[in-house]
Amino acid sequence: MLILSTIGTSLGVLGLFSIPELISALDSSPIYVTCMLILCGVTLVSVAALVLLWQKKQLGYMLKISTYVVVVIVSIVALFGVDAYSQFSTDQAIAQMAQEKVGGAEIERITRVIVPFATKAAVVMGIIQAIVFGFLWRAAWKKQLAYDKENN
C-alpha cells in the first residue's frame, strides 16, 4: 500500500502545477476551483502522511484516512461546480484550437461532448479511488498491527 500510495501521491504532486490554470477559472467556476485548491492542500497532507506511514506511526495512518474522507467530501461538493468548469475548459480549448487554426465544426462538437464528460468522470473516479484506498489502507494497517504484535 505504501508503494501504491507513494505513486498516487507523486502524481498528485504533479497536479500542483495546475494551480495557475485553476486560479484563472475562479470567476467561471468558484465552487469547483475552490474544491480543487482544497485538494491541492490535501496532497501536501498526503505527503506528510506517507512519511509518517513509512515510519509506522499511527498519526500517518490517521492523516491518510482523513485525506481520503476529505477527498470524498470535497469531490462530491465539486460535482456541483463541474459543469461551469467544464464549460470554461471547453471554451478555452476551442479558443486555442481556433487560434492555432486546428479543427472545425466537428472537432468543436466533439470537444463540447468529451471535455465535460471527462471532467465529471475524473471527479467520480477520484471519489471511487478514495473510497477503495481508504478501505485498503484500513485493512493493511490492521494487518500490520497484528504482524507487529505477533513479532514483538
The confidence score (pLDDT) of residue 2 equals 85
* CA–CA separation, 14 and 143 (whole Å): 31
Split into its structural domains, the chain has a count of 1
C-alpha cell at 97: 484550437
Query: Is residue 141 situated within a structural domain?
Result: yes
Count of C-beta atoms within a 10 Å radius of residue 16: 11
**Contact of 75 with 35, CB cutoff 8 Å:** yes
Domain contains 103: no
**Domain limits at 72?**
2-81+123-150
Residue 93 forms part of a structural domain:
no
Query: What would the grid cell of residue 108 be?
Result: 468543436
Residue 92: name the closest of 24, 37, 32, 16 by CA.
24
Asked if 87 and 36 touch (Cβ cutoff 8 Å), the reply is: no
What digits encode the pLDDT tens for the residues 125-142?
Answer: 999 999 999 999 999 999
Residue 29 forms part of a structural domain? yes
Instruction: Tell me the average pLDDT across 78-82.
Output: 95
Give the model's pLDDT for residue 152: 77
45 located within any domain: yes
* Residue 39 predicted with pLDDT over 90: yes
Per-residue pLDDT tens over the stretch 55-68: 989 999 999 999 99
Q: What is the mean pLDDT of the chain?
A: 93
The reported pTM is 0.88
User: Would you say residue 104 lies in a domain?
Assistant: no
* DSSP annotation string for 95-129: HHHHHTT---HHHHHHHHHHHHHHHHHHHHHHHHH
- Amino acid symbol at 16: L
Helical residues (DSSP H) of 15-104, grouped into ranges: 19-24, 30-54, 58-78, 82-99
